[in-house]
A and B are shown apart, each in its own frame.
Chain A
Amino acid sequence: MLDVEKIRDDFPILSREVNGHPLVYMDNAATTQKPRQVIQALVDYYENFNANVHRGVHTLSMEATDMYEVARNKVAKFINAGDPDTVIWTRNASESLNLVAHSWAKDNIESGDNIVLTPMEHHSNLVPWQELARDKNINIRYIPMDDEGVLDLSTIDSIIDDHTSLVSIVHMSNALGTINPVKELCDLAHSKGAMFLVDGAQSVPHMVIDVKEIDCDFMAFSGHKMMGPTGIGCLYAKKNLLEGMEPFLTGGEMVLEVSYEEASWADLPMKFEAGTPNIGDAIALGAAVDYLENIGMENVDEYERELTSYAMNKFVDVEEEGGKLFGPRNPTQRGGIISFDTPDIHPHDLGTLLDQMGIAVRTGHHCAMPLVRSLGVSATSRASFYVYNTKQEVDILVEGILEAMRYFRDGVR
């Protein structure tokens, strides 16, 4: 069993106070906190190894290049990508998705084709496809979902069809917590000749991910949601696809040979990494992967499931006061993201009151405006957990919500 107190000790920020209360950080779906090991990796790199990569023959440049590529290796191993060349550094999941929309989709999706999404996509896995659809005559289709936010696959055969060129699906919904059956959908997509993309922004940080087993063609995720720094993310893609794709950005570092007339592209992965990359943050993401591997992703998953079940039970108190939980009831179909609506108090006001108690939650549309609207609300409140959250913090959260609801309803505390 994992030792939460020991883990918490590694996160300096968790011992600070907010508005006179110990911080209860439950906005992990937005971004996670960083352990000392990750912060130290940044300091260490800048104090001892800082140099540009893939360029110099001098010692620092060689050392920096080594560390940078070792980090790529770690990430590749973390998602079982096999060949590290199939892991492309980007800024974040959004950039990874845009890379696919620009470099792959432009040349591989034809007029009359369709793209299949779910109604619970983050704007980052929605808007790039809408933009593509504006340029080309293509259709965007949505797999229906039920009232709990679970995909309804009963009509899937008429949705994913022979004209589907891409199925792009969020693995774990940041707005509902739903975990989608990506393996099953991937097999379906492939049986119709479509490519399969997984938005892993919320799943890679929280569970064992094996891209080989899913057999997905693309996977996008962000370092900052898995204890890494902001500004570094990844795109995994199958090697033959990457080899066939045109670059996203062009310039230095991504070329093989340049004349005054033309240029040829460097090999993978550099073909997709124009300009001086985010070396320090890539290396620190490697440290985050080490940290997570050290805990063990099975343990992270198991612990968070237990915490989520505990929280769902606790939330019965909020429901009894008229609160409403969104997302699947079945704990096996969801991750540690609890999205809810409270009567008499708007999420925005709840967020402010909880902040006064030191509790950080997200309120709003969670970059999933069409989804939140379809729930019949203009905003929800969302508590999202990571492996450093505790049952005691869940108690504080639920007590805080109840107190805020009472205050708004009765004006007494």
Chain B
Amino acid sequence: MFDAQDLYQEIVMDHNRRPRNFGSIADSTSSSEGFNPLCGDQVTVFLKVSDEIVEDVSFEGVGCAISKSSASMMTEGVKGKSVEEALIVFQAFRRMLTTTSDQVEDSEILGDLEILKGVSQYPTRIKCATLSWHTLQAALQGSGSDVSTE
């Protein structure tokens, strides 16, 4: 008997089982790699940006359900957005996970991503959820540099 429904919601489990936009993009314009040395989670984010619009985004890697579903939901959340908008979503997502209050301030910006709010109750798992986002940020800013959560 256990109670972790707030963390492993049905949508999260679904993204874990069938991650969206999983794989590389042949004609990507940038990519970035992220690594969580604590648990070995590793993710690569591929981007195809043209005219400051995220035309396509995908990810590859190994990780737990939280990191995988977060990455999967992230790709759905930023595809078609402008680079600037995508960065705003990243900031909102990070805020949601690092504030302990139950309230989510940026519901409109976050949309479906709000489902991952439950992660904020599990401090050791926040990095799992933010890894792909930090990696996205690095790819968006074109630095292409590798990201580590430590």
Contact = CB atoms under 8 A, between A and B. Distances in A.
Contacts of B10: 411
A320 B1 CA distance: 21
A403 B2 contact: yes
Contacts of A363: 39
Contacts of A403: 1-2
A372 interface: yes
B40 A365 contact: yes
A391 interface: no
A408 B13 contact: yes
A215 to B, nearest CB: 38
B40 A364 contact: yes
A348 B122 contact: no
A119 to B, nearest CB: 17
B119 to A, nearest CB: 10
A143 interface: no
Most chain B Cβ neighbours within 10 Å, of A20, A346, A407, A411 = A346
A311 to B, nearest CB: 21
Chain B interface size range: 20 to 34
A363 B64 CA distance: 11
B22 interface: no
A349 B40 contact: no
Most chain A Cβ neighbours within 10 Å, of B7, B8, B13, B124 = B8
A346 B1 contact: no
A408 B69 CA distance: 13
A19 B122 CA distance: 12
A379 B3 CA distance: 24
A352 B40 contact: no
Nearest to B125: A352
Nearest to B40: A378
A345 interface: yes
Given A346-B65, A349-B8, A379 B13 contact: no
Interface in B51-108: 62-66
Interface in B1-25: 1-4, 7-8, 10, 13, 16
B26 interface: no
A369 B8 CA distance: 28
A356 B2 contact: yes
A357 interface: yes
A62 interface: no
Nearest to A400: B2
A151 to B, nearest CB: 25
A207 interface: no
B41 interface: yes
Contacts of B8: 349, 353, 407
B42 interface: yes
Interface in A373-398: 378-379
Most chain A Cβ neighbours within 10 Å, of B41, B62, B65 = B65
Contact of B42 (A349, A378, A411, A413): A378
Given A352-B122, A364-B39, A411-B10, 9 more contacts: A345-B65, A348-B63, A348-B125, A349-B65, A352-B4, A353-B2, A357-B1, A365-B40, A403-B2
24 contacts: A20-B3, A21-B1, A346-B63, A346-B64, A346-B65, A348-B41, A348-B63, A348-B64, A348-B125, A349-B65, A352-B7, A353-B4, A353-B8, A356-B2, A356-B4, A357-B1, A364-B40, A378-B39, A378-B42, A378-B63, A403-B1, A407-B8, A408-B13, A408-B16
The 6 lowest CB-CB distance pairs between A and B, nearest first, are A378-B40, A348-B64, A356-B2, A346-B64, A379-B40, A349-B65
Interface of A: 19-21, 345-349, 352-353, 356-357, 363-365, 369, 372, 378-379, 400, 403-404, 407-408, 411, 413
